[in-house]
A and B are shown apart, each in its own frame.
Chain A
């Protein structure tokens, strides 16, 4: 069986919102949805399937995703689902839905207002509730454990960290900058992102150069940090293999990381050499809106293909402490001169 061709045909993201903007999640999301839908030539509610990613804990309210639905135009009622995960996994669910043949187009969105709470406290709640959460170890501390493990293993050096804008700040006792310690987490911003997926000929009609999803896969690892090799990311490697990332070289990689050390782990797991442009979007994934940051990596990679700046790009999203869960997608644009006008249904 030939798998159905599915592409990212539109991507939109908000600017970084300041808490003082005073927007509700629906208000933050609405212009982003319209931007993505306009690019694809879809009206609100017109996509065959809608899927979103967000977190109640981030919002401080149960069922927080229901409020965002006000911006979608869910009338007449729509086929819709939601993952309590980064929007990258909402994209995965939508991709599967299109593969089944039940949908030809899908709207995927994600939103987060980390400014509502203190992320350093909130994210401790996603740790083992018996052994870890009672200690309130904040995410920056956990990331720094990973950095130390990499330094010890000689896989990164302190000089590299010094040039990293995302590196920890010097400690009060004058400890050398770049040595891993728990910094005050850099504040993630509020925002939203949206992507439109479409299959086959529909994708070609909606977008002059669709970013075809050649493969997408995600894998999880043990939650226990003391059990894992923090210098490696076997789940990323496996997801990349299953997504076909190693079948041919990529020219671009958009990586969802907390800091330079995690980028080093991923570069190794994904076998990215100096020829690959990493995070050309200028993105600073660590400050992207939580729950949308992974979807933004996928969207930025796709947008680069749309613009003709990449022919084959890898996009990565992560979730959980120290890269516990990872998603890898491989996106491709067709070579210049491709007729792009196959008969309707030929590839679907």
Chain B
């Protein structure tokens, strides 16, 4: 059994989030060191504010300003902060009910050690030096022994600010390790030796390429390895005229389905060595291997006549 292949897989995108009116007001407010909440019809003040009442589902737009000091309602010590969390040194995660609010906001609480944190302790917002209209405009909370800020209650607020923030860009990157599985590993190792391996189903006897370790139609494990190709027949194709981002292939090029000799379904590959507008269904092709790719770089016309439609029409 050859070594199982794995490879890093990064899923990263700077998501752009449109905020809607309430979240826009709240996040713009943070930029201006002002904390807004919403008042529900029954008088509760929700901070952070939401657009719809979590109990009645009513739309709520009644903005109020609350204090920047508050009380810890529960907390958890975080001895080993992870790199994208708010603080680099150990801190407490805390739910903080700001003065004037009826609900609590989650954020980091900067404290020297866990013994310095308790439920009920008073804290205040430490603002980030650079603020842009995001929850991270609050750098964290910090212990506070003074009195409540001026806005001890919740006071009405129009929610209007100059140059409001309407979208939020939230880059998110996740790192994965991709494992293609045993069947694919075997297939990929064989490719390194420039052989194309399929698997024959013990039940229907058909040969699947690339192999998956299971026959997709019979739902049984496949273990009999069969070398297929190298030549095959173009069953169908399209001519690609738009260059895809991050794809280093000059357009136009032909993307084809190729039924390799001995295989019972077509795999997908690029056709080269022939002008794109001369590629035909039924054309016989063979792989062209290069040193810099595990897969055949492309397939080129093989020196033999085209296959008759009837010989591959079942593979379309």
Interfacial residues, chain A to chain B (CB-CB below 8 A): 19-27, 30-31, 33, 44-45, 57, 59-61, 67, 69-75, 113, 115-118, 120-122, 125, 129-138, 141-142, 144-149, 152, 171-173, 175, 179-182, 184, 222, 224-227, 230
Q: Judge whether B213 and A30 touch: CB under 8 Å.
A: yes
B54 at the interface (CB under 8 A from A): yes
- A226 and B178 form a contact (CB under 8 A): no
Q: Are A60 and B135 in contact (CB under 8 A)?
A: no
CA A22 – CA B185 in complex, angstroms?
A: 9
Q: Mark B113-149, 1 if CB is under 8 A from A, else 0.
A: 1110001000000000000001110000000000000
Q: Which residues of A contact B114 (CB under 8 A)?
A: 171, 173, 175, 179, 181
B219, A73: Cβ atoms closer than 8 Å: yes
Residues of chain B lying within 8 A (CB to CB) of residue A175:
77, 113-115
Contact A44 B134 (CB under 8 A): no
Interchain residue pairs with CB less than 8 A apart (24): A24-B182, A24-B183, A44-B218, A57-B174, A59-B176, A71-B214, A115-B177, A116-B9, A116-B177, A116-B179, A125-B172, A129-B15, A130-B17, A135-B86, A145-B106, A148-B119, A173-B113, A175-B77, A182-B76, A224-B50, A224-B54, A225-B95, A226-B47, A227-B103
Nearest first, the 8 closest Cβ-Cβ pairs linking A and B are A73-B219, A24-B181, A22-B4, A44-B219, A181-B77, A144-B76, A226-B104, A75-B217
On whether the beta carbons of A230 and B74 are closer than 8 Å, the reply is yes
Residue numbers in A under 8 Å from B174 (CB-CB): 57, 60, 117-118, 121-122, 125
* B29–chain A nearest beta-carbon distance, Å: 13
B23 in contact with A27 (CB, 8 Å) = no
B212 CB-CB contact with A under 8 Å: yes
CB distance from A135 to the nearest CB of B (A): 6
Partner of B177, one of A19, A70, A141, A224: A19
Report the nearest A residue to B5, measured CB to CB.
Answer: A22
- In the complex, what residue of chain A is closest to B96 when comparing beta carbons? A226
* Chain A neighbourhood of B76, CB < 8 A: 141-142, 144-145, 147-148, 180-182
A346 to chain B, nearest CB (A): 33
CB of B79 within 8 Å of the partner chain: yes
Residues on B with C-beta less than 8 A from A180 are: 76-77
Q: Does B166 make an interface contact (CB < 8 A)? A: no
Residues of B within 8 A of A146 (CB): 74
- Contact residues, B1-55 vs A (CB, 8 A): 4-6, 9, 11, 15, 17, 19, 23, 27, 46-48, 50, 54-55
Q: Would B93 and A134 count as touching, CB distance under 8 A?
A: no
Cα–Cα, bound, A211→B57 (Å): 38
> Footprint of A on B, CB under 8 Å?
4-6, 9, 11, 15, 17, 19, 23, 27, 46-48, 50, 54-55, 73-80, 82, 84-86, 90, 93, 95, 97, 103-108, 113-115, 119, 134-136, 168, 170, 172, 174-185, 212-221
Closest residue on chain B to residue A69 by CB atoms? B216
B176 A227 Cβ-Cβ under 8 A: no
Least CB distance from B1 to A in Å reads 9
Question: Within 8 Å CB of A71, what residues of B?
Answer: 214, 219
Which residues from chain A contact B108 at a C-beta distance below 8 Å? 135
Give Cα distance in the complex from A288 to B114, angstroms: 30
Question: Do A24 and B17 touch across chains, with their CB atoms under 8 A apart?
Answer: no
* Docked-complex contact B135 and A135, CB < 8 angstroms: yes
| Most chain B Cβ neighbours within 10 Å, of A44, A59, A73, A131 | A131
Residues of A within 8 A of B107 (CB): 135
